[in-house]
Amino acid sequence: MNFRKGKGREDPEINLIPFIDVLLVILIFLMVTTTYSKFTALQITLPTADAEKAMEQPQEINVGVDAQGHYAVDNAKVAARDAAGLAEELKNAAGAGGQSKKDPVIIINADATAAHQSVINVLEAARLAGFDRVTFAAQASGKK
């Protein structure tokens, strides 16, 4: 039963407005999440350094700290147990051997189980002796 005489069937239309809204949201999302390559505007050729290596190595004073808190300066055991006594030993080691070691590097070789205070005493002794270049020696782990 066709009650609509004379009228033909209307073709279905696709509503484009929601489709455009979805495309705009996708476009905004892509613009926000896209990373852009950075190109520099200037072509710079950096200079190269052709300096020779330093001819003289910095003087080193090795300080060993064992697990019981005993100290050794340049492989010689010292009786000092406090920072002030250790500072005197460091000054003596810097002036030993007839040549004065100017601005030596203090290398601290501490046992893994040494007390933290023992290492801090070495740092304080280096400060009291006027040596400001201090480093720690470490052993590389065999595990990877």
- Residue 11 is given by DSSP the state P
Cα–Cα distances in angstroms (integers) from residue 119 to residues 18, 110, 114, 116, 141, in the given order: 71, 7, 8, 5, 21
Pairwise CA distance, residues 101 & 109, whole Å? 20
Could you tell me if 71 and 65 are in contact, meaning their C-beta atoms sit under 8 angstroms apart? yes
Question: What pLDDT does residue 144 have?
Answer: 53
pLDDT in tens, 61-118: 999 999 888 999 998 899 888 999 999 999 998 887 555 557 889 999 998 888 899 9
Q: Report helix, strand or coil for 73.
A: strand
Question: What pLDDT does residue 49 have?
Answer: 66
Q: Who contacts 135 (Cβ-Cβ below 8 Å, separation ≥6)?
A: 105, 106, 107, 108
pLDDT in tens, 102-114: 788 999 999 888 8
Question: What pLDDT does residue 34 have?
Answer: 82
pLDDT in tens, 131-144: 999 999 877 766 65
Beta strand pairing call for 134-136 and 105-110: parallel
pLDDT in tens, 7-42: 667 777 888 899 999 999 999 999 888 877 666 555
Question: What pLDDT does residue 86 have?
Answer: 94
Question: What pLDDT does residue 44 have?
Answer: 58
Question: What pLDDT does residue 81 have?
Answer: 86
Pairwise CA distance, residues 117 & 73, whole Å? 17
* Domains of the chain, earliest start first: 60-136 (3.30.420.270)
Question: What pLDDT does residue 9 have?
Answer: 72
